[in-house]
Amino acid sequence: MGGVLARRLVGAYPLTVWDLNEGAAETFKELGATVAPTAADLARECDIILLCLPRTSDVRKLMFGAGGLAEGLSAGKLVVDQTSGVPGETVVIANELAERGIAMMDAPVSGGVVGAASGTITIMASGTQADHDRALPVLKAISSNVFRCGARVGDGQAMKLVNNLLSAGCRLAALEVVALGRKLGLSLAAITDAINSGPACNRTTKVTLQGIVDGKAAVSNFAMALMLKDISQSIQLGKVCGVPTTLANIVRGLLQIGVSTLGKDVQFDRVMGLIESMAGTRIVDPADAEEGPYPNAQVAGEKELHLIQNAVAACNLLLTYEAASIAVAYGLKLSDVDMLINKSTGWSAASERILPSLSSAKTTSTVKLHAMVDDLMLVSQLAIEQGAPMLIASTVGSLYEIGAHKLGPQASIDSMAKLYESMAGIAFEGA
């Protein structure tokens, strides 16, 4: 990812690069960039230093290891960390640099290699206003989508973790429920149409599944192991903030199964095959792709399609509440969360509906808890009968049952926000 981001700066600014991979550095030399002999030499040469590494531990090693950036950094320079890292650890690094008069901010990205190459990747920047203003022209050269996520170093990384929890969680939840639908004999086209025509849609159903149905399936270049890392870090952030991460732990477990059984280098797209294997079915029907959009549309099976739609919608909603709980407990503003999530990979119809209103406690749905519980119990029974694991949706059903007992069956599904406030010890209103 770092190399693709750096390519956006070729010709826009005098560019000096350094990479452990000499071949990668040589590529940039051919593009007109200067190659520094060491990281320390690069730090001496540049006023603004951008880095994008797999983990915060890698950032610390590059910064303070032998021949590292810190040896060449001096007062007045600015480090922009685009790593999807651990916010608390990044704050520690920033404080150590600040003691020497060196500024640091974070600016992780979301949107994949394609978004990075096209200059549309989402950049989540955080740091002081002065540092943000100084870095903004450079970040704008990388992408037109730069969002300021807070004044504290680490806020951008926290926002990235919240976004990726929603991105991965909504994907896996949808795929598990879709696998059930396929075992019921429904076509992928009919399932996708039903989900996307109502309040259940998310990025996976709108982009990935719709693309498969339309014969335009896209392939990402994001390793499953890196998504596993991000979800693990979101759970760690929840622990630090005292927020239960019930659904995130299931998402992490599924991804860990994927990495452990498929290999650490497998791409995140392969989670569909993982869910297919676990459910003993095929989500992608070869006949669908051959026959074009919306083949074999279901006339019979409307009840099942309704249940599938509600199950995915229910998962999207509680994943949004769990992610928002982490964000609020960490100190992110809900207005920033709304702005970022609903323009990034964590988007769903649920996030679009509730995030703009969550801080004002406005009701956005008239659906009653008892009605949702009834539907989720029916879906759970279908999963048992069909032999579909459906781990996320089953747990979501249990959480809705708890909500109905505590809040009353006639309460709106929006009242589940109160359950999450109670569990996390937070208040959404005014956040």
**Which of these, 237, 253, 252, 259, lies nearest to 162 by C-alpha position?**
237
Which of 77, 160, 183, 229 is catalytic? The answer is 160
- Is 333 one of the annotated active-site residues of the chain? no
For residues 209 and 285, give the distance between their C-alpha atoms in angstroms, rounded to a whole number.
Answer: 11
Cβ 209 vs Cβ 188: under 8 Å? yes
Phi, psi angle pair for 110, to nearest 5°: -145, 135
DSSP string, 235-269: HHHHHHHT---HHHHHHHHHHHHHHHHH-TT-BGG
DSSP string, 66-111: TT-GGGT--TT-EEEE-S---HHHHHHHHHHHHTTT-EEEE--EES
Cβ 243 vs Cβ 320: under 8 Å? no
For residues 170 and 176, give the distance between their C-alpha atoms in angstroms, rounded to a whole number.
Answer: 10
Q: Residue 320, Cα to own-chain centre: how many angstroms?
A: 11
Say which residues have a Cβ less than 8 Å from residue 31's Cβ, sequence separation at least 6: 7, 10
Q: Letter for the amino acid at 175? A: L
Where in the sequence numbering do the catalytic residues fall? 160
